[in-house]
Copies of this chain bind each other. A is one copy, B any other.
Amino acid sequence: MAHSDVLVFLLSLAVLLGVARLLGELAQRAGWPSVAGEIFAGVIVGKTLLGRFAPGAFSWLFPEGSPATMLNGYKTIAVVLLLVVAGLEIDLTIVRRSGKALVYTSVFSAAIPFALGWMTGLALPDSYLVDPSQRTFHTAFLAIALAISALPVITRTLLDLGLMKSDIGMLVLSAAVVNDIIGWICFSVLVRQMDPHNAGGGLLRSMGLTVGFLVVTLVVLRPVVDRWLRAMEPSPGEAAPTTRVLTMVTVLALMGAAATEALGIHAVFGGFVVGLAVGDSPRLREHTRHVLQEFVTSIFTPVFFATMALRYDFARSFDPVLVLIVVSIATVAKVAGSALGARLGGVGKREALAIGFGMNSRGAMEILLAVIALEAKIINERMFVALVVMAVVTSLISGPAMARLLRATPSPVQKLLRAGAIQLDLAATTRRDAISELTAALCTKLGRTGESSRFCDAVMAREDTAGTGVGDGVAFPHADADGLTEPILAFGRSKTGLDFDSPDGEPAKLIFLLITPRGDYQRSLHLLAGMARLLARQEVREKLLVARDSQGVVAALSDAKAAGQTPIPGSERSPTSRA
């Protein structure tokens, strides 16, 4: 390997990564998905701009030969790891707890765009195709491309709107998971069918191999991974086995990718399925997932998306008519299909439309599909650009549309609780200890260490005058205190229940500890009354009792009526609870 090859490889990688991340950050600040900026980096340093205005610099920095091969190797690892992260993000359990609404929504949100995509493909003039004799592949691809949804974009939108663990959020998420998995299966089958080197043809064989790989990985590998992760769990006092788990995930992903590649399916499918299998284990630590995600986002993904646009001249390939057709058909089909499905599943009109716009975002996954299709010569550059624009536009309108339709704004209690502390398993066995535990957690979270005992004493003084249990297993210990400008709130859940001197004599399991600024009686009263109203509803209490994490607690406290919003049917007749 010559010195200059290494030099060019290092430099080209630095340029791609640096420019892509910079533009990705700028895009994000402007409210766009970062992948848009990362792709644009390839337009700038690639054939489109650098190649046109400084062709010498372009061909020096991105020559064919060894540096290109090394860059390709890096890109391969990048895309496999990107798909592992995507797979890790999927929580299969939410799909298992399915219901009528999920079945209808996922079927219609995929089937209608698929059908419309197929029709579009059939109707497109020959000039839009790479090879008119291969029209079937092109048509099938277009149908799949319109049918998928972008899980990462949806996740971020739901988080932003505070809808993550709400019924509507769960429905959108689980339908998107189903779409995603089916979409990748279809796409993998298509890639295998397209492959001219593919010895064993036949649609059934391709489907068998793809679904077979999925099933084998999920049925055989998943429990094995779970057992390995359990074996790696540290004894108390030992360091977390993060590096071991990271290596295991990477090795499995590489092997999965190699296996799918060997089967004639694309390597990305292997990475994705391994991510699914590993992510399903409850023993995968949040820290490990986080380190992997941070690292892949920092140094791998941007390079992958930037290299995409490197060798194509995209200025020439922008076809406004095609872009308009693709964007509008994709949006209409997805919004209408998902909304129809949700309506049939019993969701209200407005909420069904919101679900439609949520499902409509295509994001990075669409772009990834398009890249692979472009490289496999299924689509041409014009269609590629149209799909990229479609992915960006649908992702951009998704959040604002949902917010507008749902008029979703977090209630004051949700806001306070998100800033405050949530203890799902109180260790305390007495009222005093519970209060001390909650004030300590609150002070730690707010960086007010040292004030815990002061708050604890104030709240206890109030308890001593009269217990704050209100019955139904709920208590609202509270006090006012100096040195606060805003109220602070903590929630604690006790398995056994604690005596808070309730009128009904029941021990309190749901404890809200509120401390308000000294003298702000008005607000204190208002907040306590609001919480009392909310907690008077049985379904709110039930959700709080079973919430598995802080997000679940916050979501349970959404005050639909207060936000001037029609009630979401799902929140009364939960579609996910009819397992």
Picked from B6, B14, B258, the residue with its CB within 8 Å of the CB of A255 is B14
Are A76 and B258 in contact (CB-based, < 8 A)?
A: no
Are B294 and A243 in contact (CB-based, < 8 A)?
A: yes
A521 close to chain B: CB less than 8 A: no
Q: Which residues of A contact B (CB under 8 A)?
A: 1, 3, 6-7, 9-11, 13-14, 17-18, 21, 25, 66, 69-74, 76-77, 80, 195, 197, 242-244, 246-247, 250-251, 254-255, 257-258, 261-262, 264, 267, 291-292, 294-295, 297-299, 302, 426-429, 432-434, 436-437, 440-441, 443-444, 448-454, 456
Q: Tell me, rounded to whole Å, the shortest Cβ–Cβ distance linking A337 to chain B.
A: 35
Are A10 and B261 in contact (CB-based, < 8 A)?
A: yes
Picked from B1, B264, B302, B448, the residue with its CB within 8 Å of the CB of A72 is B1
Number of copies: 2
Are A80 and B10 in contact (CB-based, < 8 A)?
A: yes
Q: Tell me, rounded to whole Å, the shortest Cβ–Cβ distance linking A447 to chain B.
A: 9
Picked from B13, B250, B291, the residue with its CB within 8 Å of the CB of A291 is B291
In the assembled complex, the Cα of A294 lies from the Cα of B287 at a distance in Å of 11
Known: A6-B76, A450-B426, A450-B433. A251 touches B25 (CB 8 A): no
26 CB contacts below 8 A, A to B, read A3-B264, A7-B258, A7-B261, A7-B262, A9-B73, A11-B258, A13-B77, A17-B247, A17-B250, A17-B251, A17-B254, A70-B70, A70-B76, A71-B73, A74-B74, A243-B297, A246-B294, A246-B295, A246-B299, A247-B299, A250-B298, A291-B294, A433-B454, A436-B452, A440-B444, A440-B449
Q: Tell me, rounded to whole Å, the shortest Cβ–Cβ distance linking A296 to chain B.
A: 9
A254 neighbours in B (Cβ, 8 Å): 10-11, 13-14, 17
In the assembled complex, the Cα of A280 lies from the Cα of B433 at a distance in Å of 44
Known: A433-B453, A450-B426, A453-B456. A257 touches B10 (CB 8 A): yes
Q: Tell me, rounded to whole Å, the shortest Cβ–Cβ distance linking A457 to chain B.
A: 9
Are A21 and B76 in contact (CB-based, < 8 A)?
A: no
Known: A21-B251, A437-B450. 11 other contacts (CB 8 A): A6-B76, A9-B76, A13-B77, A17-B247, A70-B73, A74-B77, A243-B297, A246-B298, A246-B299, A291-B294, A440-B440
Are A10 and B76 in contact (CB-based, < 8 A)?
A: yes
A444 neighbours in B (Cβ, 8 Å): 440, 444
Q: Tell me, rounded to whole Å, the shortest Cβ–Cβ distance linking A237 to chain B.
A: 8
A453 neighbours in B (Cβ, 8 Å): 432-433, 436, 453, 456
In the assembled complex, the Cα of A184 lies from the Cα of B77 at a distance in Å of 31
In the assembled complex, the Cα of A69 lies from the Cα of B428 at a distance in Å of 61
Q: Tell me, rounded to whole Å, the shortest Cβ–Cβ distance linking A195 to chain B.
A: 8
Picked from B25, B243, B264, the residue with its CB within 8 Å of the CB of A244 is B25
Are B433 and A302 in contact (CB-based, < 8 A)?
A: no
Are B450 and A428 in contact (CB-based, < 8 A)?
A: yes
A21 neighbours in B (Cβ, 8 Å): 244, 247, 251
Q: Nearest 5 pairs between A and B by C-beta?
A: A70-B73, A436-B453, A14-B254, A246-B298, A427-B450
Known: A10-B76, A247-B17. A434 touches B456 (CB 8 A): no
Picked from B74, B262, B450, the residue with its CB within 8 Å of the CB of A73 is B74
Q: Tell me, rounded to whole Å, the shortest Cβ–Cβ distance linking A85 to chain B.
A: 12
In chain B, what residue has the closest Cβ to A13? B254
Picked from B258, B297, B299, the residue with its CB within 8 Å of the CB of A14 is B258
In the assembled complex, the Cα of A247 lies from the Cα of B18 at a distance in Å of 7
A77 neighbours in B (Cβ, 8 Å): 13, 74
Known: A243-B294, A243-B297, A261-B10. A251 touches B18 (CB 8 A): yes
Q: Tell me, rounded to whole Å, the shortest Cβ–Cβ distance linking A64 to chain B.
A: 11
A9 neighbours in B (Cβ, 8 Å): 73, 76
In the assembled complex, the Cα of A334 lies from the Cα of B7 at a distance in Å of 36
A448 neighbours in B (Cβ, 8 Å): 427
Q: Tell me, rounded to whole Å, the shortest Cβ–Cβ distance linking A565 to chain B.
A: 27
A426 neighbours in B (Cβ, 8 Å): 450
Q: Tell me, rounded to whole Å, the shortest Cβ–Cβ distance linking A431 to chain B.
A: 11
Are A6 and B267 in contact (CB-based, < 8 A)?
A: yes
A255 neighbours in B (Cβ, 8 Å): 10-11, 14
A70 neighbours in B (Cβ, 8 Å): 69-70, 72-74, 76
Are B258 and A302 in contact (CB-based, < 8 A)?
A: no
In the assembled complex, the Cα of A290 lies from the Cα of B443 at a distance in Å of 27
